[in-house]
Amino acid sequence: MKPIVAVSTPVGAGAISIVRMSGDGVLDIARRLFSCKEDITPRKVILGTFSYNGINEKCLLVYFKAPHSYTGEDIVEFQCHGGELLTREVLNALINNGARLAENGEFTKRAFLNGKVSLDSAEGIIDVINAGTEAELKAGYNLMSGKLYQEVKALQDKVTDELASVDMTLDYPEHDDEGETLEHTKSVLKEVESKIHALLATAGTGKLIKSGINAAIVGKPNVGKSSLLNALLGEDRAIVTDVAGTTRDTITESIAYKGIKINFVDTAGVRDSENVVEKIGIDRSKRAIDMADIVLLVLDSSEELTDEDRELLDLTKSKPRILVLNKSDKKKALNLKEKYVLVSAKDGVNIEELKEEIFNVFAGGKIDTSGLILTNVRHIEALNAALEKCRQGISACEIHTPDIVSFTLKELWQELGKITGETETESIIDAIFSKFCLGK
């Protein structure tokens, strides 16, 4: 394929910059621009001079010969000094000598097209690059390592074997026992169905890892919501004053806790207000409550419940919630039957205990990332579609319609193949690789 080139390191000044080429003729392009005292041999770091347009850059070259490379094609990488201008000059030199600027994710797309990586494993690479928590990173590594691919291929192999048996029954009915064949196929389909159910059972944990926990901090004005947000973040993110109604819009910030992302939404205090701007903020607060996975309802521990407090208790009663009694540094006047966490946002008292309580509500105290976890919506949708094909195939076996069984087995194989990329549409494949950064 035509050679492509891109910078594989972040833009800006740095110690080194890596410019990568892949495709036919990349070694010829390199030899025109790079001089050294030894032969360029695969997988050896070679010191030399990159010369172009008055620039003589001492740099390193590494050559990976096809098919033993990331893309499955010949690859040449230049490691030069990390100046932005210098990197751009090296890139332009390679483009002017026959390479084309790569599109986002084009190196990995070529790896996929050349059979070096499956589509699901490529998505694992994206997840590793974009991981913001330890759990996301581990889940990404599990996907990148091919664990899902191996599971899916094993299921496809079972389906292929059954399809061959059923088609044999259709082609040579006099030599095969249709009833016995369909009974065996039904048993295998139930086994495949069970395996898919087991994979889909991890999707809840996967959603938690991928999206995190959305926690809305709500309460009446001046109860300490913004102070609580700052305490949870460990930094002053929200403005804190004694003036009620200071927060007039929602503020969203995230932390990583025990490998899981917690997204805190600091909301405007909920109360009756004639101020137009404040009323908009209050409406957004109510929407944030509706969208939240859990509500942190902040109450003032130094005073009795007010009508505003009671309204919020009623408003959030159908949501998972934690009652947070703030201002523990003052004399406690509020007594509740419902479980609560007593904190002082000002002094940071029991803030870690509150994080632990949020984590426990959703994770039960532990997230196991040692095995395969489904975090990708595309994989979940494909497996759900495959599950439906299993059910259709089982029903067809029970009413002894081998032609329908054969057709359904083919559809089942194709749904599973969407995960690995064997049967996925070109537009979906392009969309997946467009999520990569340039140079990957």
- Domain holding 427: CATH number? 1.20.120.430
Q: What is the pLDDT along the chain (440 residues), one digit of tens a residue?
A: 999 999 999 888 889 999 999 999 999 999 999 999 999 999 999 999 999 999 999 999 999 999 999 999 999 999 999 989 999 999 999 999 999 999 999 999 999 999 999 999 999 999 999 998 999 999 999 999 999 999 999 999 999 999 999 998 888 776 668 888 999 999 999 999 999 999 999 999 999 999 999 999 999 888 888 899 999 998 766 444 443 444 445 688 999 998 889 999 988 655 444 544 445 545 667 788 888 999 999 999 989 999 888 989 998 999 999 999 999 888 887 888 899 999 999 899 999 999 999 999 887 756 788 889 999 999 999 999 999 999 999 999 999 999 999 999 999 999 999 999 999 888 999 999 988 888 88
Contacts of 158 (CB under 8 A, 6+ apart): 188, 191, 192
Domain's final residue, options 316, 335, 363: 363
Rounded to the nearest 10°, the torsion over CA 217, 219, 223, 229 is 10
128 and 246 in a single domain? The answer is no
Q: What is the pLDDT of residues 315-367, one digit of tens each?
A: 899 999 999 999 988 888 788 889 999 999 989 999 999 999 999 988 775 67
Quote the pLDDT of residue 240: 44
CA atoms within 13 A on the CB side of 20: 23
269 and 331 in a single domain? The answer is yes
81 and 151 in a single domain? The answer is no
Tell me which residue has tokens 């207000």.
Answer: 273
83 and 135 in a single domain? The answer is no
Quote the pLDDT of residue 178: 81
Indicate the annotated binding residues.
20, 77, 116, 222-227, 241-247, 266-269, 440
Angle at 366 between CA 363 and CA 372, to 5 degrees: 90
246 and 353 in a single domain? The answer is yes
Residue 148: closest CA among 376, 427, 426, 399: 376
353 and 425 in a single domain? The answer is no
282 and 388 in a single domain? The answer is no
CATH number at residue 43: 3.30.1360.120
243 and 338 in a single domain? The answer is yes
Residue 309 CA to residue 334 CA, distance in Å, equals: 12
Q: Is 439 within a domain?
A: no
Rounded to the nearest 10°, the torsion over CA 240, 245, 249, 252 is 40
Quote the pLDDT of residue 389: 98
Lookup: tokens for 378 = 């595309």
Residue 10 CA to residue 60 CA, distance in Å, equals: 18
Q: Is 169 within a domain?
A: yes
| DSSP code string of 146-178 | THHHHHHHHHHHHHHHHHHHHHHHHH-GGGS-H
216 and 359 in a single domain? The answer is yes
Domain's final residue, options 341, 363, 385: 363
Domain's final residue, options 309, 331, 363: 363
Quote the pLDDT of residue 86: 94
Phi and psi angles of residue 103, each rounded to the nearest 5 degrees, phi first: -85, 170
**The whole model's pTM is what?**
0.82
Indicate the annotated binding residues for Mg(2+).
226, 247
Q: Is 113 within a domain?
A: no
Distance of CA 39 to the CA centre of its chain: 43
Quote the pLDDT of residue 56: 95
Residue 375 CA to residue 136 CA, distance in Å, equals: 9
Indicate the annotated binding residues for K(+).
222, 241, 243, 246
Q: Are 390 and 405 in contact (CB under 8 A)?
A: no
Q: Is 114 within a domain?
A: no
Quote the pLDDT of residue 175: 62
Give the 3-state secondary structure percentages of the chain, helix then strand then coil, rounded to 5. Answer: 45, 20, 35
Angle at 193 between CA 372 and CA 370, to 5 degrees: 10
Indicate the annotated binding residues for (6S)-5-formyl-5,6,7,8-tetrahydrofolate.
20, 77, 116, 440
Lookup: tokens for 156 = 């496809």
Q: Is 368 within a domain?
A: no
- Ramachandran category for residue 421: left, alpha or beta (phi over 0 → left; psi -120 to 50 → alpha): left
Quote the pLDDT of residue 267: 80
Q: Is 131 within a domain?
A: yes
Q: Are 224 and 266 in contact (CB under 8 A)?
A: no
The residue range of the domain holding 250 is 211-363
Quote the pLDDT of residue 13: 83
Residue 163: closest CA among 151, 181, 179: 181
Indicate the annotated binding residues for GTP.
222-227, 241-247, 266-269
Lookup: tokens for 341 = 């966490």
Residue 223 CA to residue 406 CA, distance in Å, equals: 65
CATH number at residue 286: 3.40.50.300
Distance of CA 339 to the CA centre of its chain: 34
385 and 332 in a single domain? The answer is no
103: DSSP letter:
P
84 and 46 in a single domain? The answer is yes
Residue 420 CA to residue 156 CA, distance in Å, equals: 11
Residue 346 CA to residue 223 CA, distance in Å, equals: 11
Q: Is 192 within a domain?
A: yes
305: DSSP letter:
P
The side-by-side arrangement of strands in the sheet containing 294-300 is 251-257, 260-266, 213-218, 294-300, 321-326, 340-342
Contacts of 232 (CB under 8 A, 6+ apart): 255, 264, 351, 354, 355
Q: Is 115 within a domain?
A: no
Question: Could you give the number of structural domains in the chain?
Answer: 3
227 and 335 in a single domain? The answer is yes
